[in-house]
Amino acid sequence: MKRPALIRLILSIVFLGLLATPLILKRIAARRAQATSTHLDQSAALARYGFAFTEISHAAGIDFTHHAPALDPRLNPIMPEVASMGASVSVVDFDRDGWPDLYVTDSAIGSHNHLYRNQHDGTFVDVAPELGLADVNQPNTGVSMGSVWGDFDNDGYEDLYLIKWGRPELFHNDHGHGFTRVSEQAGLPPWINANTAVWFDYDGDGKLDLFVGGYYAENIDLWHLKDTRIMPDSFEYAKNGGRKYLFHNLGNGRFEEVSAKLGIDSRRWSLASAAADLRGTGHPDLFVANDYGVAELYLNDGRRFHESGTQTGVGFAPKSGMNVAVGDIFNQGKYAVYVSNISEDGVLIQGNNLWVPKDASSTKPNQPIAYENMARDLGVELGGWSFGAQFGDLNNDGTLDLTLTNGYVSADPHRSYWYDFAKVAGGNASIIGDADHWPAIDGRSHSGYQQKRVWINDGAGKFVDVAQAVGLTDTHDGRALALVDLFNTGALDVVVANQRGPLLIYKNTVNPANKWLELSLEGTRSNRSAIGAQVTLRWNGQQQIQQVAGGSGFAAENDRRIHFGLGPDPHIESITIRWPSGTIQTLSPADLAQLDTILSIKEPA
Amino acid sequence: MSSQTVLIPNPTAAAQHRWRKWFTLENRFVPPIFITLILLVGHVTFGILESYKKTLLAIAAAILTELVLGRLITHKWVNVASAYISGISVGILLRSPALWPYALCAVIAITSKYVVRVKNRHIWNPSNFAICVMLFLAAEQVTTLSIQWGNNLYAMLVIWALGSAIIWRLRRFHICATYVLSFVAFAILRAYIVGDPIASEISPITGPEYQLFIFFMITDPKTTVRSKTGQCIVAFSVAAVEMVLRLNSSIYAPLYALFLVGPIALLLETGWTNRKPKPHGIAAFGVTQ
């Protein structure tokens, strides 16, 4: 064979090899995934992964199905798209009995929200009607989108801020015996179309403040539209959403709106937010995930906020932010931030973001911080049309795992809306901004029937999805997800609120060989909810930080108590609590009578 | 995107005035400069490059492959202008959170020019071929550019105006005009057939993916037919096939339509007309085979 012919033959073989490369990579990935995607019985899952879930909502007395809002009839052709949120769950011990309760929102006009009181026997009973928290979706007041709990008047009982597309509501907790609506007295505005809010004490004055992020603009009554130009003006750079609010707690039951004055001025379409001291300054920063655009990171210097998304790296690539959760995933005393986005094979691969502080930027407090997205490297990038996600040690092995729910619109499983969605979404603002220009969804699915993710952290830099193996197997359209030790057993259970679907409770059974510790904190000089308190637990030569949060994930709030898994045979070295007031409290091993217990700790006066 | 493999300067170019060289057909650097300009404006304005690394990787992979294969096959160091365009178009059009698809796509694009040839012509636009291959075979890893550049009317008008002016000077505006008019006509027809708003059917062509598609892919001199009438027929055919694909809810209809129509048109031309290939004005970018 002549040399040119030989070269061409070799080149042709190489070319075929190049074409085969994606198929080979796909096959390798599928083989790896298959090993963890098979459903196991509980004993096998316990043996292999150290935990297993059982869905118990019906047995626990909870048979709740969410109803989506029905907005202005002019939106009917795309109603499942525009009315795609509202299912939420928040965890609260509203009656201070030491057992976590659940507050669940419904979103149809006239529907009722539910406050499920924990009966201590594995069951729950809805007490919302008699306590005044049920009938909150009345005509002309909008509907519920979520809730966050915080003791804004420091009386020891958690109060409720109800996130709505409509009239925002603040309910004062009357010592666990009822709730009083105090929205007007508090100075809340008449209407906000919001999907996220978070309680935090941004100025460290001992009183909880409140951030609320708007989604649709606040001058839109979604049930009585002036016109149909309500959609985002871009699917990646939209700035025509709702405004942000920062309500400063004045201490007399009133709040002052101070967002613009303190540097928060944005009209991006916010879907999730979380507050955490990301730089070790003692001041909580605010991370906001926005739909149709970049995330915003408001760094708190103690006096005002500075939007630093671009400088820190988290606000450069526009995606569809729908979740914010923070966790010390490497046990290094640094928070990573997880933001969920959209991934659909062959259509849109945004990938979720796991923002990990770069080493050089995070070693010193008060220094500039920079993040890199390590979602791909760690294996938590692809989660479908992702919504709520939370960090928590599900198997008590001493590292934080990550649980995620997903799925947008599950309707006719054989017909997809993706083509029509993509057709319009790439167009000009004058086209996509008008709901009238969108093709009717007509009963089709849009990233529906998706499998959830339970990524367990191997402690060595990899997360592996074991959702199917450990029994988290539903395919509803998940929205909010909360982690909570519902039965005070030291196991983090998973509660999932599904859009137009049931509230699911996945009871967790954990290998008892792994030890655990939970801390229930109460502030004195700090806000009584202890929101913002940070605990550093050192054991077996490692450390993990966790904080008390006033809202996390998507439309969710986790168990207020901090849960540490410790693995087998832990040797506790110290527990350090940095209270929001600045007080540092250190507990030694001698202060711990035993492990596998819930410690109640009050801030030193 | 331009895809010449062996590049020889047009002999008449040397006689022309210096300033005219930059704006006449002979200037092979106009398309690379234009696409670079689009990239930079898009990035500075809207940050369309989620990562410099990905685009640079695609460009580097394309150029390196071109240099190696050109040297192996032709024993010359070939001009890398077309490889640069292929690399940059892969960097812009392909979307993936991973790095490897950018490198693989760029290498496939350039390699296809040397392997998939009929009568010594490559028959697919290289970047169109490679991106379609990635969409077929790695759908779980890649998509294409769809909603970047802010959906802003003014940014779109600037690119359309600049692109049209350059394409006009390159004497290929008739291809773009035929395609755009055909697309709009078919969009109206689709709206009538499926009952969707006309605006929703027009919407795709107002996005950035189509700007690149129209100015750089369907006008590629090496993978279009030679007669002006033939070029218009091909542009119309691409729009027609795209319509059929769109009626079947194919998200990447324009890319697939060009993937299907382009080679068929070239094969018809080379096989049925029995026209002998020769250097002439089809080398819109001032280069020829």
> Nearest Cβ partner of A426 from B101, B147, B201?
B147
Task: With a cut of 50, say whether residue B7 has pLDDT above it.
Answer: no
The shortest C-alpha distance from A590 to chain B (Å) reads: 49
Across residues B86-106, what is the average pLDDT? 90
Across residues B29-50, what is the average pLDDT? 72
SS3 B247: helix
Put simply, whether B211 touches A (Cβ < 8 Å) is: no
pLDDT at B41: 72
Confidence of residue B208 (pLDDT cuts 50, 70, 90): confident
ipTM over 0.90 threshold: no
Confidence of residue A520 (pLDDT cuts 50, 70, 90): very high
Confidence of residue B281 (pLDDT cuts 50, 70, 90): very low
Question: Are B285 and B31 a contacting pair, CB within 8 Å?
Answer: yes
pLDDT at A461: 86
SS3 A600: strand
- Residue from B111, B246, B251, B256 to probe the interface with A (highest A Cβ count within 10 Å): B251
Checking DSSP bridges between strand A515-522 and strand A597-602, what pairing results, if any? parallel
More confident residue, B12 or A88: A88
| Sequential DSSP letters for B206-225 | GSHHHHHIIIIITT-GGGS-
Task: With a cut of 50, say whether residue A149 has pLDDT above it.
Answer: yes
pLDDT at A242: 98
More confident residue, B267 or B26: B267
pLDDT in tens, A71-116: 999 999 999 999 999 999 999 999 999 999 999 999 999 999 999 9
Put simply, whether B201 touches A (Cβ < 8 Å) is: yes
Contacts of A180 (CB under 8 A, 6+ apart): A132, A171, A172, A174
pTM: 0.91
Q: Which chain A residue has the Cα nearest residue B196?
A: A439
The shortest C-alpha distance from A136 to chain B (Å) reads: 37
> Nearest Cβ partner of A426 from B96, B203, B246?
B203
Both tokens of A295, joined, read 């995330």
- Residue from A228, A431, A445 to probe the interface with B (highest B Cβ count within 10 Å): A431
pLDDT in tens, A415-429: 999 999 999 988 888
Confidence of residue B96 (pLDDT cuts 50, 70, 90): confident
Contact flag B143-A349 (C-beta cutoff 8 Å)? yes
Residues of chain B with C-beta less than 8 angstroms from the C-beta of A236: 46, 147-148, 150-151
Confidence of residue B50 (pLDDT cuts 50, 70, 90): low
CA–CA gap between residue A65 and residue B252 (Å, rounded): 38
* CA distances in angstroms from A73 to A218, A436, A466, A544, B234, listed in the order given: 19, 12, 42, 51, 44
